[in-house]
């Protein structure tokens, strides 16, 4: 039986009070609830405060370039479908630098979970606006306020008919752990966008600000209803819904791969063939 303690405790470089602590707590709870031992779990990330999360617990970890967590994560799942594959990164990393990888992953639909820590700011580089920063939000780098239209990750994921689209809040660890569990259990690509207060650089979207606004979708809400899901994805003001916003049943890429020869994991490698291919480019 896997416990939270199996994932260890490490010193972190986050500011005291950062929403990332609560997300880390939720991740460990979800992994223990699912009884997933560390050797069966692989975490991928890019660069940023959120992307440091996989450094702070014990499992297989790949830390790549800014915005580039998704490509190796998908590759790992395709090579070894037995792995539980997660990618964690910030709103800048996932929706800015890694924006095209995000779109490609939604279209491709590999069986994995992307958790986006959405603090609506670039945390690691000291508070510039990110793609999800609200219009007219003032930062040191945007003293007249942000003039670009806000990126809407949930609406984009729903528009591309992702299999699982959810929103969590770092202030509700139990709900977030449950969303991560449901995302993992859903076949295909799953997005969990998490409202994550950055207590140092975002003085607008604070824990208190969210607590006044977030609410949980109730049992009557039907996540398979595309129009309703779009409306919920766009609700971000006095009230902000959390929970599973959209579910779909597109065939997942891992199943499609079985018809192309199947997984690579445990297959004997034909080194002669590899050498011949290498020689063609020598």
- Which positions lie near ligand SF4, rule CB under 6 A? 14-15, 18, 20, 49, 119, 123, 198-201
CB of 24 to ligand SF4, least distance (A): 11
Minimum Å gap between C-beta 109 and ligand TPP is 24
Q: In terms of residues, how long is the chain?
A: 282
> Contact, 119 vs 92, CB < 8 A?
no
The least distance separating ligand TPP from the CB of residue 3, rounded to whole angstroms, comes to: 28
Q: In angstroms, rounded to a whole number, what is the distance separating the alpha carbons of residues 35 and 30?
A: 9
Choose among ligand TPP, ligand SF4, none what residue 44 binds, the Cβ cut-off being 5 to 8 Å by kind.
none
Contact flag: residue 54 with ligand TPP (CB under 6 A): no
In this structure, are residues 96 and 131 in contact, taking their beta carbons and an 8 Å threshold? Answer: yes
Q: Which is nearer to ligand SF4, 72 or 123 (CB)?
A: 123
User: By C-beta, is 14 or 164 nearer to ligand SF4?
Assistant: 14
- 96: which DSSP letter? I
48 binds ligand TPP (CB under 6 A): yes
Say how many C-beta atoms besides its own lie within 10 A of residue 141's C-beta. Answer: 12
CA–CA separation, 267 vs 151, rounded Å? Answer: 42
> Is residue 119 close enough to count as binding ligand TPP by CB under 6 A?
yes
> Using CB under 6 A, which of 12, 125, 175, 200 touches ligand TPP?
125
C-alpha angle 179/184/186, rounded to 5°?
95
Q: Which is nearer to ligand TPP, 98 or 188 (CB)?
A: 98
Radius of gyration over every alpha carbon of the chain, rounded to an integer in angstroms: 19
Is the CB of 210 or the CB of 246 nearer to ligand SF4?
210
Q: Which helix (H) or strand (E) holds 165?
A: strand 164-169
Instruction: Report if residue 87 touches ligand TPP, rule: CB under 6 A.
Output: no
């Amino acid at each position: 039986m896997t416990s939270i303690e199996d994932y260890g405790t490490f010193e972190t470089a986050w500011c005291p009070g950062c929403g990332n602590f609560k997300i880390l707590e939720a991740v460990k709870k979800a992994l223990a609830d699912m009884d997933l031992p560390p050797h069966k779990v692989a975490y991928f990330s890019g660069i940023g405060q959120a992307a440091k999360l996989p450094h702070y617990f014990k499992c297989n970890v790949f830390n790549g370039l800014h915005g580039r967590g998704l490509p190796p994560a998908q590759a790992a799942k395709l090579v070894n479908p037995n792995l539980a594959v997660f990618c964690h990164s910030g709103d800048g990393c996932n929706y800015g630098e890694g924006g095209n990888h995000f779109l490609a992953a939604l279209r491709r639909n590999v069986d994995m979970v992307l958790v986006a820590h959405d603090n609506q700011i670039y945390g690691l580089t000291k508070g510039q606006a990110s793609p999800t920063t609200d219009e007219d939000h003032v930062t040191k780098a945007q003293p007249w306020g942000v003039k670009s239209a806000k990126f809407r990750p949930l609406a984009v994921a729903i528009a591309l008919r992702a299999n699982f689209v959810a929103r969590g809040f770092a202030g509700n660890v139990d709900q977030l752990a449950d969303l991560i569990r449901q995302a993992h259990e859903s076949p295909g690509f799953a997005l969990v966008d998490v409202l994550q207060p950055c207590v140092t650089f975002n003085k607008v979207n604070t824990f208190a600000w969210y607590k006044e606004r977030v609410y949980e979708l109730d049992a009557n809400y039907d996540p398979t209803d595309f129009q309703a899901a779009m409306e919920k994805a766009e609700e971000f003001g006095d009230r902000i819904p959390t929970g599973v916003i959209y579910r779909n049943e597109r065939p997942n890429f891992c199943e499609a791969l079985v018809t192309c020869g199947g997984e690579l994991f445990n297959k004997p490698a034909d080194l002669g063939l590899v050498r011949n291919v290498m020689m063609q480019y020598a």
